[in-house]
Amino acid sequence: MKTLIGEEKINLAIQGLFEKHKQDIEPNLTSIEWLEALYEVTRPEYHVLIDDWFKRVITYNLKTEKVIYEKLENGDFEITISISAKRFETMEAGDFSPIQINEPIQIGAFTEHPRNVENDEMVLYLESHQIDKEKMNLKIITKALPKYIAIDPFGTRLDENRKDNISEITDL
């Protein structure tokens, strides 16, 4: 949620709920009120995604399938990333039903594996991209050649196999 709407807006939603209930002797905040507070501080196109995350069990199969790069004349690198992105809803019986994907997901380029990122200098690129197809090619530009490229590098989506979210560029 923080990646989608930002910490500031989450804090606004919490502050609004606090103000609403601060006089209550025994506050009785409901999950519906929490969702309504989130809706108030987010753009309407994100309401469906908020509902998905809070009202349904959604899982993902995200993967970087291929990464190629080209050094540009100015010394920057153009990196083409082929990704696969699938979404599933877990039904009451426990089976998975494929559902359309259409949401912003972070794509990152790093000098170290994302789990080892300790400072901004290790992050060459980190931006959300609207992922709306199961197979997509994205192009990014970095000042240096990254060692790792990832979709959802910090695991904000429930993905059974996170290892294939990250590709290592081995011919440095």
For each of the chain's 172 residues, which pLDDT tens digit applies? 888 888 999 999 999 998 888 888 777 888 889 999 999 999 998 898 899 888 889 999 999 999 999 999 999 999 999 999 999 999 888 889 999 999 999 999 999 999 998 888 899 999 999 999 999 999 999 999 999 999 999 999 999 899 999 999 986 5
CA dist., res. 29 & res. 27, Å (int) = 6
pLDDT, residue 22, reads 83
Label residue 2 exposed, middle or buried (CB < 10 Å: 0-12, 13-18, 19+): exposed
Domains of the chain: which residue ranges?
2-54, 58-168
The reported pTM is 0.81
pLDDT, residue 65, reads 96
pLDDT, residue 169, reads 92
The 3-state secondary structure of 107-152 reads: EEEECCCHHHCCCHHHEEEEEEEEECCCEEEEEEEECCCCCEEEEC
pLDDT, residue 172, reads 54
Superfamily per CATH, domain 58-168 = Aminopeptidase N, middle-beta domain (2.60.40.1840)
Closest C-alpha to 153, from 122, 45, 172: 122
CA dist., res. 134 & res. 77, Å (int) = 25
CA dist., res. 115 & res. 10, Å (int) = 25
pLDDT, residue 98, reads 95
